[in-house]
Structure 1
Amino acid sequence: MMEPLEKRLEKAMAELRTAQEAIARTERELRESSFAVLSSDRAVRATVGPQGELTGIDFLENKYRDMSPQELAASVLEAANAARLKMNRHVMKAMAPFAEPSSDVPELKGFEMDWERIFGPDVLREDNEGTARGAQPSPAWRDALGEDGEN
């Protein structure tokens, strides 16, 4: 037997209010998020804020003193890009439940999230090795030194 329209509308409104409150709570939590990532050579730690903005760079154990400007720049970029990717994935995971359709009210389809528009093309797609496309490959200087960047 079909539920009366008034009752279905009441359920939909209650679920919508619950979703709005959960989104607001998630947004508050995300605004306080940050991620820090070490470069593969462990010379640099980059920290990003909730919008992927660079909020900190730490040069670890004075390793930068023995690096060329190109090596240091590559380490900074590697760590910053990895931290940004980690934040993007965290945001996606936190917001994913709101993109799901309602199980109780089929008319509530969930919110559409255009991740490519938000984060840019290919930022969150993975290739066969499990590394994000668009992430920096191992710096050329590592290849020249016979280092693959793996820990």
Structure 2
Amino acid sequence: MSESMKEKLAQAMADLEAVQSAVARAENELGQATATARSRDRMVEATVGPQGELTGLKFLDGRFRNLPAPQVAASVVEAVQDARAQMAHRVIETFAPLTRQGGGLAGTGGIDVDWERVFGSALDDGNGGGRGRAARDRLRDEIHEDPDDNQHRERRR
């Protein structure tokens, strides 16, 4: 093997070790990370872990007791989705140096990651006009008391 080839191989191995070290640091940093968000109505607070898993849910006041279940559910979903979006963006920011030009091995353009595929709807935090916020708004729009349902409840009593 020529000296030039040995130098290239040594540089590639050093680059690989640097990338592996950077990934290990990022994984360590995110390992215990959490993100917390509140619903717009300030009724629900949700906390998610580094993989977007729900780790905590708080009802911040007693208003939920007087609201219809679909409205409470919408607040829970909203808070969880917002917390997941925060965590997804934190993961992307943490791994961004490895995904940019020069972030990967020598001679490569960095690691190509399809973040939409990785995180799906979690990336939609409502600022981009995407699917998630619109879906939550549609759910909120559907929350209403149907007069027919109230009549049926009264008849059953």
Superposition TM-score tier, normalisation by shorter sequence: 0.7 to 0.9
Q: Is the 8 A contact 1:126 1:133 kept in 2?
A: no
Residue matched to 1:134? 132
Q: Name the CA distance, whole Å, in 2 between partners of 1:104 and 1:48.
A: 29
Q: Which secondary structure state, in structure 2, belongs to the residue aligned with residue 137 of structure 1?
A: helix
Q: Name the CA distance, whole Å, in 2 between partners of 1:87 and 1:126.
A: 10
For structure 1, list consecutive stretches of 5 or more residues without a partner in the other structure: 145-151
Query: 1:10 is matched by which residue type in structure 2?
Result: A
Q: Name the CA distance, whole Å, in 2 between partners of 1:15 and 1:44.
A: 46
Q: CA deviation at 1:65?
A: 2.0
CA-to-partner distance for each residue in 1:110-131, whole Å, 9 max, x for gaps?
Answer: 22212233112x553688x534
Q: Name the CA distance, whole Å, in 1 between partners of 2:25 and 2:113.
A: 18
TM-score when normalising by structure 1: 0.77
In terms of fraction of residues, the more helix-rich structure is 2
Residues 15 and 106 of structure 1, relative CA distance in 2, 3 Å threshold: closer
Q: Is the 8 A contact 1:35 1:47 kept in 2?
A: yes
RMSD of aligned C-alpha atoms? 2.9
TM-score when normalising by structure 2: 0.75
Q: Is the 8 A contact 1:12 1:108 kept in 2?
A: no
Of 103-112 and 25-34, more deviation after overlay is shown by: 103-112
Number of equivalent positions: 140
